[in-house]
Amino acid sequence: MNAPTETRPVADAQHAPDPAFTQAVAQFRNTITPDMDFTTALGAVRRLAKLRRQGARSAVSTRVAVLANTTTTQLAALLDLFLFAQNVDAEIYEAPYGLMRQEILDPSSELYSFTPDFIVLATTRRDLGAAPNAPDAAEAAIDAAGGEWEALWRKAHERLGCQIVQNNFDAPPWSVFGNLESSHAAAPGHFIDSVNRALAARAPGWVSIHDLDGLAASVGRWNWGDERFFHLAKLPCAPEHLALYAHRLAVLVGARLGRSRKCLVLDLDNTLWGGVIGDDGLAGINLGQGDAIGEAYVAFQRYAKALAARGVILAVCSKNEEANAREPFEKHPEMVLRLDDISCFVANWDDKAANMRRIAQELNIGLDSLVFVDDNPAERKIVRDLAPEVAVPEIPVDPADYVRAVEQHRYFEAISISSEDFQRTQMYRANAERRETASNVGDIEEYLRSLEMRAWIGPIGALEMDRSVQLIGKSNQFNLTTRRHSAADIQRMLESPDWVTRVVKLTDRFGDNGLICVALAHAQDDALHIDTWLMSCRVLKRGVEHALLNNFAAFARERGLNRLVGEYIPTAKNVLVKHHYAGLGFTEMAAAEGRTLWELPIGAGWAPLPHHISAEEVQ
Amino acid sequence: MSALLDDVTAVIRTVFGDDEITLTPTTSADEVDGWDSLMHLNVIIALEKRFKVRFSTAEISELKEEGKNIGSLLDVIAAKQGSAP
């Protein structure tokens, strides 16, 4: 199994970075936005090169091959720029112009000696064969196109174990079939649309289909392409949209490296409603039907609510008396967002940068998982200055433009959306309540008992696959080795007699936490080696670690193994679990370059660890 | 004329990230370090944006040809802006 991405500590002891330089780099990342003008973006590419010469580095590094039958020079440079904005350093290989298929098919191509973690297939409609010349040929043509690309993905993945991002095909702005373009089986537009659906349906877990067609449509199809620059220089789209295009590709790669944001933090006054609740009162704020501005605020709330419904966490950060801040949520009939949509509600008079840290801590996520939306430029500035890890989009004056201002950044890109994402708000909120219970209960054991926790521990099955791969792709903090195994890797483990896969699902009296833990181990010699162990930080210190360890020990004993072996690979984010194995009674057996190996004999002298979870265990 | 030259010079300095570049109407692309076909497009794109003009496909390739210079570029922009150079 290969581990496609090396994560490494940001700071390096030999040359401790100058804080002012680190700050400047963080602020530079925040200036890289998808609405950058092309010339400005090229200037930023030069600035990036200069910062790198001065030692600027990102938290994560990766290798990306860009393959296209169009010119990729600008696209590749901008892809690098937007990955850097997400704290990723990419080494980029641009395949020679026009050799997309050959590079994949030829095992001796430079693509394979480069060994990318990601292949970006920057296809356009020109890479798709002609539309079927008769309606009855359509089905076969769609199938053939889908089959060809799938075969290329599989070939590359088989040889490299890499992940793939491929564009779907952008329909042209013209419609030779007129209004029948979208419905007639032999129309190019219909053909492209059908192939795009087929690609989406065929894509395995390790392939992201980038919706280039949707991007072209959102820009406007006549504006998207600039035929002059295609004919002159084979640019894939109008130059003014190259930054936007590169940004979209970068967020898809970033999502697979765990760089997506998780939480939208909202200011209240003049962000969710017009006016100031503390001054204007419940009846005085502008929100709701009958007033154009009031409707614009409702529309923005609907957008936030829709994000929450698919798994984005919402938080509030407002300079207000808490009772005032809560009042509209409780009493205003036009409020779309309600208190139970908000996982963390902070209303006080502290500076907002400090509040960002509080929210991150409360939700147990990194500062770099937050997006902060505030109409007030001064508040945006203080957060940008003092908590530069937080994404702070520019917010226009007109509330009618708020949705676009946030949406264009694609902060919350997900590799897949599982049914558990739909319940996430409830889970985080129940968690906050749990924490309150904890502060009321003196004895921690009593508290854990009072949670009435029930766990299901078993192998990764079809139902567990999506969520498991998602967690493997994005968990950073409670992650012992940060190995980003793909769905295909997991499939191979499931088929191997030596590997054991485990997931834990946990419910308690406050609700269903869903699938919160993934662990992968393999038997070798006399030991069970734990390759991967990650958990959602929501369930820290609840005893899940003990329950899972007991499960592994029982499995190992049954196979006649004598020891469990654990491994810790440090990254910038997982210091939380540095002492994980020590805490479970393991002893350190080896250490090199920060990595440590731990062992636990499980002979007669070892007894299962205590916990308060009633576990259903499936082998 | 010289105002337009100044404006064009400012755009080209931005594109090349080099504030030292000085241009005269007789300067040709070959005399500017790094003005290759890729940079030529970057210059064209920046000029279109700055002057709100649109170069035709033919103009874009001709402006890079032998014998053309900054003066030719100024002429094309001035003509598109509807004023004599």
Q: What is the pLDDT of residue A10?
A: 47
Indicate if A263-407 has the same CATH topology as A19-256.
yes
pLDDT digits over A228-248, tens only? 999 999 999 999 999 999 999
Query: For the domain that residue B15 is a member of, what is the CATH number?
Result: 1.10.1200.10
Instruction: Look up the CATH number of domain A447-617.
Output: 3.40.630.30
Number of domains in chain B: 1
Which stretches of A310-416 are DSSP H helices?
322-331, 352-363, 377-386, 402-407
Q: What is the DSSP string of A498-509?
A: TEEEEEEEEEET
pLDDT band at A423 (very low <50, low <70, confident <90, very high): low
B58 touches A: beta carbon within 8 Å: no
List chain B residues with CB under 8 Å of A235.
Answer: 41
Range A265-287 average pLDDT: 92
For residues A336 and A351, give the distance between their C-alpha atoms in angstroms, rounded to a whole number: 27
- Higher-pLDDT residue of A542 and A106 is A106
pLDDT digits over A518-577, tens only? 999 999 999 999 999 999 876 777 899 999 999 999 999 999 999 999 999 998 778 889
Return the amino acid letter for A176.
V
pLDDT band at A511 (very low <50, low <70, confident <90, very high): confident
Range A484-506 average pLDDT: 93
List chain B residues with CB under 8 Å of A229.
Answer: 41
Q: Considering the domain boundaries, does residue B22 fall inside one?
A: yes
Q: What is the pLDDT of residue A437?
A: 62
- Lowest mean pLDDT: which of A101-110, A169-178, A319-328, A439-448? A439-448
B53 touches A: beta carbon within 8 Å: no
The verdict on a CB contact (< 8 Å) between B45 and A240 is yes
Length of chain B in terms of residues written: 85
Tokens of residue A390, six digits: 């937080």
Instruction: Report domain extents, chain A.
Output: 19-256, 263-407, 447-617
Q: Model-level pTM greater than 0.80? A: no
- φ and ψ at residue A527, rounded to 5 degrees: -130, 155
pLDDT digits over A164-197, tens only? 999 999 999 999 999 999 999 999 999 999 999 9
Q: Considering the domain boundaries, does residue B85 fall inside one?
A: no
Please report, for residues A99, A213, A214, A411, the alpha-carbon distance to residue A218 in angstroms, rounded to integers and kept in the order given. Answer: 29, 9, 6, 17
Spatial CB neighbours of A218, under 8 Å, sequence gap ≥ 6: none
Could you report the predicted ipTM of this complex, rounded to two decimals? 0.91
B60 touches A: beta carbon within 8 Å: yes
Q: Which residues of chain B have pLDDT under 50?
A: 84-85
**pLDDT surpasses 90 at A410:** yes
The verdict on a CB contact (< 8 Å) between A43 and B14 is yes
**pLDDT surpasses 60 at A435:** yes
The verdict on a CB contact (< 8 Å) between A235 and B41 is yes
pLDDT digits over A456-469, tens only? 999 999 888 988 99
CATH topology of domain A19-256: Rossmann fold (3.40.50)
**pLDDT surpasses 90 at A447:** no
Q: What is the pLDDT of residue A422?
A: 61
The secondary structure element, H or E, covering residue A307 is: helix A292-309
Please report, for residues A102, A269, A324, A339, A615, the alpha-carbon distance to residue A279 in angstroms, rounded to integers and kept in the order given. Answer: 67, 10, 10, 21, 53
Range A434-455 average pLDDT: 71
For residues A127 and A167, give the distance between their C-alpha atoms in angstroms, rounded to a whole number: 10
pLDDT band at A206 (very low <50, low <70, confident <90, very high): very high
Query: Percent of chain B scored above 90 by pLDDT?
Result: 81
Q: What is the pLDDT of residue A7?
A: 47
List chain B residues with CB under 8 Å of A231.
Answer: 57
Domain that holds residue B28: 2-80
Tokens of residue A136, six digits: 């009855």
Q: Considering the domain boundaries, does residue B12 fall inside one?
A: yes
- Whether residue A24 contacts residue B34, with contact meaning beta carbons closer than 8 Å, is answered with no
CA angle A80, A23, A408 (to 5 degrees): 45
Return the amino acid letter for A108.
S
pLDDT band at A98 (very low <50, low <70, confident <90, very high): confident
Quick one: A263-407 is in which CATH superfamily?
HAD superfamily/HAD-like (3.40.50.1000)
Calculate the CA A104 to chain-centre distance.
27
For residues A271 and A290, give the distance between their C-alpha atoms in angstroms, rounded to a whole number: 18
**pLDDT surpasses 70 at A15:** no
pLDDT digits over B17-41, tens only? 999 999 999 999 889 999 998 899 9
In chain A, which residue's Cα lies nearest the Cα of B54?
A: A228
Q: What is the mean pLDDT of chain A?
A: 90
